Structure 1
Amino acid sequence: MKEFPDVLVCAIFFGVLLSVFLEKSTSEYEKLELDFLHCRDDSEERTLILAEKNHALLEKQNYEIYNATLKERNRIAREIHDNVGHVLSRSILLTAAVRAVNNDPKTAPLMDSLEDSLNAAMNSIRSSVHDLHDESVNLEHAVDSLIRDFTFCPVGVTYDISDQIPRNIKYCFISIIKEALSNIMKHSNASSVKILIREHPALYQLCFEDNGTDIHYDPAFSGIGLVNMKERVYSLNGTLQISTQNGFRIFITIPKSVNNN
């Protein structure tokens, strides 16, 4: 009977030791698990940061490539205009001079053909230079330039659009923003302007709004400026909405299509 309490004491002592050991093991396991979770979170955070930096780097590289392309197009356009264009102009003038002093009827058809060819070449050069210049226009830079010249009131811009916007949409947006800013100076008492240019999967969006209160807009008697805006947008199969609640607001959407080049 005396041995039983000794065994019980040993069992209790062993149980306490086992409990302490298990508690310590559990604590160490929880600490290891917590360290693992922290390491995993840190690793995921570093992965996300690295992905963001890579994305920003790619965007910067694409932007630099795009700007370099625009500068090269401008350079080519200038060289064509200054060199080839001047040579053709001089050749056309010389041909006209030769025709004026030429008395041989046999060479007259040849001179006519030569003059027509030179004129055709000149028209082709002009068209090429015009196209190169149009393609080199940067919408964001053009909008920034318009805003810098606008001193009537502060202008905030949200620009979220790719560099590959079609040429006719670029000129449409530039013309509308220019006209809208001009109308504010002429007709509005606005103290702030907001411009939103955004690209969606299926359309391009332009929103122009001010906080002016001196607004007199009648759809039946739109000025030539608003008429021109509507014609530009409608020619691209777009929509234009005008609101005069809490300021003057123009909301434009133009669908993406193969015809918008």
Structure 2
Amino acid sequence: MDEQRARGGGPPQWLRHGPPWPGRPESEERRGYRWPWRSTVVVTAIVLAGSHFAGHQQHGTRAPLDAFAGMLLLVGSGLLLGRQRYPVPVVFGTAAAAMVYLGAGYPYGPVFLAVVVACFSAVVAGHRKAAWAALGMLWAGHMLVAHWLYRWLPPSGDSAASWAQEAVIAAWVVAILAVAELARTRREQWARERAERAQAARRRADEERLRIARELHDVLAHSISVINVQAGVGLALLDTDPEQARTALTTIKAASKEALGEVRQVLDTLRTPGDAPRAPAPGLERLPELVRQAASAGLAVDVEGRPPRLAPGTDLAAFRIVQEALTNVVRHSGSRHARVLLEHDGRALRLRIDDDGPATGADAGGSGNGLAGMRERAAALGGTIEAGPRPDGGFRVLAVLPLNVRSKEDDR
């Protein structure tokens, strides 16, 4: 079917549905179209019953209903089956059936209901000009019949319609178009709101995925760096200094246990979304622990300054930035000494991590996402990260984190 349409076969695009109905995926249209049987049957029943009642009320002034009238009523209402898939031909078809019905002199009544429903569907589907044109055609046809052709059309002895009646019909046409346009506007608004909610949900999912990726990277990168260094020490001293090798293995065991605990905490947040974490998130109060771990990897760290009381999100970001910076020193620097400076002025916390270098140039097996993760953490709080070589040699990481800023981690 699609291949035939691509070659030019089948109904042209303007005859088909046009824009997809909001809330209905394209795959649903490919799986099969559901014809609106129930609503069409209800409208047909109302049109037939109402027209017969109107015929009794207008007996003697309009032509009586016959088989041709019944056929016109059935055709006009039956076309509504395709109003969602083919709104343009349906709205013109119902208008034409109603125009022929009125031209034949049959009673006024709910024959216009099918035109109203078709017009409504066409406007909501985005074919507003077609709906306006169909209603204009019907109104013009009625004007032609009621003020000129009535002399030659049934019923015999009919007189011209009053202009007050034409004004009422015009008011009904305007009301139908206004209600249809209002429904179209509301539908488009609901579609936009659904799309915005879906986009916001995807954005939140992406942000959560990046947050978890940063956490796992920072936890594993630091711990595995310590394990890597200590494993090298243990292997080198296994034969010559078994006691020192034992110390290295003990450090490996402690670092791996800590890494497993933090990874388990991250995974717990995935398994039980919305629940509070079982353990508090790490913060700068664990800075002495970082210093001890760095010392076990052969890196001496001097810490100057004390941090202020921080919000949980800011505290976690500051801890991870220092952790990642020290991990990079262990991995990429030939220096065995690093300095951590903490400063704050009531508005922002400044973290400066320096080492004297030089860079080893060796492949330390990292993912290359450490600096990117630090920048993402700082940016999430409205802060900045500067990282690069110092003019006098070595490497510096400078982070500025605003205070009194509520992060997304705080909301969790």
TM-score > 0.5, shorter chain as reference: no
TM-score category (smaller protein):
0.3 to 0.5
Q: Higher strand proportion, which one?
A: 1
Considering Cα pairs closer than 8 Å and 6+ residues apart, tell me whether 1 or 2 has the greater RCO: 1
Normalised by the length of structure 1, the TM-score is 0.44
TM-score by length of 2: 0.29
Return the index of the structure with the highest Cα Rg.
Answer: 2
